[in-house]
Every structure is written in structure tokens, then in C-alpha cells.
Amino acid sequence: MNCALIAALLSFVFAVQGPVVRQARGAADEAQNGDSQNVEGHTITVSRSGEAYAKPDLGILIMSIRSTSPIADEAVGDNAQKAKDVESALAGLGFSPTEYEISSVTFGDQGGPRFPGQSDITAYEANQYIYVFFEAADLADVAKLTQKAAAVIEALRKAGAVPANEGNGFGPVMIGAQQGSLIIYTVKDAGEYERKALQVAIARARVAAQDIAAGTGVHLTELRNVQSGYLAGSGVIPRSGPSPLAGLRYRFFTTKSDELIIIANVTLQYDFK
């Protein structure tokens, strides 16, 4: 078994303090820094943030398969074979097709220095991400999760997969707070927590507007405008560009197995006299 991969997994599963905690706190601090208030004309405008705390109910182990060849068809064909080998490996471990996903292939090229008579393109690269899902029952027992994930990693490694955070031809990929993180966590349905975070933000903005009015000796008359701002997760994990998270349907991610913080921002504008 590949000791480096297992060590990376172990270091992640048990790392619920240190950098991850600081990361979650940093997200909350950033939200607070977005708080603002303004009095102009006969309106008071206040922006506030609110948080909701969710317990992740889904863990996602992310690996990738990549193939490089000077011939485009060969790169795509090699990757297709690796995808079949991955499916066979997961089936051998008892995973059904609903318990994992393999992303569609992305295709790029690698270029070299230009010399007389040399083509700009020296190789083609095909890349796909593998997402293996661990449900809440798996997350409840860290020891069993570690053992199950280790078996998956070893089987996928033999099938030709590598950790997604090793990077690819488009540059290195960082998943979460730690370079060695192979599992990230989310909630399958975040709607309830989004609403809670928004409610907290609205309540804070309302109180702040009332405090400003009381402090300046004016009276709020009516709510002129409500604007909902950003929604963010504590993990601050990107979903765009070369990130392996771009192919997932979930909105918020964290590297903490026991807590996901969802942050909302709202701006209220009141008339006063």
C-alpha cells in the first residue's frame, strides 16, 4: 500500500484543529469586515453578515486520472481505459454507481520552446476527476472512515488514479487548507442553513439601523430596500478554474468533518425623519 497516500489521509482525517480552525475563523472574520453603515440624505443603509452552522452529512474523496500522449486520440483513449479500470475497482469494493462519479474529460495540450521546424504542441493531456462519496454513517466513525478511504485510495491507485491535489497540466490544485487533504465535506441540502444565515444577517442589520437612529435622534419610517449579498462557506474552497470542485453540484465545502459554516450578507435601507 502506498504509505505516502495513507499518511496524507490520516493527517487530514484527524486534523480538526490548527489551520482548519483558523480558516473557519478567518471566513467569519472576513464576513464581519464586510459590515458597514451609511447615513445619507434621509436614508440609513446598513450591511451585516450572519452565520449558520451545519454538520456535514457527506464526505467526498477526490482523485483524478490523467493521460499524456503526443497523439491526441491516444491520450483520450488511455484515460477512457483508466476510467473503466476505476469503475471496476470501485465495484470490487462494493460501491454502486450512485456512490461515485467520474467527471467528463477535459482536454489540453502542453507546449515546448519554439525551435525551427518544431511544433508548438509537444503533448496532449486528458484529465478526469473521480468523486467517491461517504455518507453520514461513514462520517460517524473516524476509524472506519479512515480504513474505508484507505482501501479506496489503494484500489484507485492500482487502477491508475492519483490524488487530485497533485495538480495537472494546467497548474497545481489546492483542496482546502492542507495540500495533503484528500477528503472534503459538505451538506447535501444547504437550503435550511442558507435561510438561517440570512435571518441572522437581517436581524443584525435591523438592530444596527435602530441603534443608529436612536443615537442620532431620528425615527425610522419604512424599509426602502433589502438586498441579499454573498453566500459563502467556511472552507473558502474555490469551485471555478482548475479546481476539482467545479464538477460537483454542492455549493459549500469545508475541510472539517464536524462543522460547516455558511455565511450570508444582507443590506437594509431605511427611510427616516
Range in 75-84, 106-115, 152-161 the model is least confident about: 106-115
Residue 129's DSSP bridge partners are 64
Check residue 236 and give left, alpha or beta (phi > 0: left; psi -120 to 50: alpha): left
pLDDT at 31 over 60: no
The average pLDDT across 234-247 equals 60
For the ranges 3-17, 66-80, 128-142, which has the lowest average pLDDT? 3-17
Q: Is 266 left (phi over 0), alpha (psi -120 to 50) or beta?
A: beta
pLDDT, position 158: 95
Considering the entire predicted model, what is its pTM? 0.75
> Predicted confidence band at 107 (pLDDT cuts at 50, 70, 90)?
confident
Cα distances from 71 to residues 68, 120, 126, 203, 259, in angstroms, run 8, 14, 11, 60, 46
Per-chain mean pLDDT for the chain: 79
The SS3 assignment for 218 reads coil
Top mean pLDDT of 1-10, 141-150, 176-185 is at 141-150
Question: Confidence band (pLDDT; 50, 70, 90) for 40?
Answer: confident
Q: 184 and 245 in contact (C-beta within 8 Å)?
A: yes
Residue 181's pLDDT is: 55
Domains of the chain: 16-56+188-272 (3.30.110.170), 58-184 (3.30.70.2970)
Q: pLDDT-derived band of residue 13, with 50, 70 and 90 as boundaries?
A: very low
First to last CA, the chain: 73
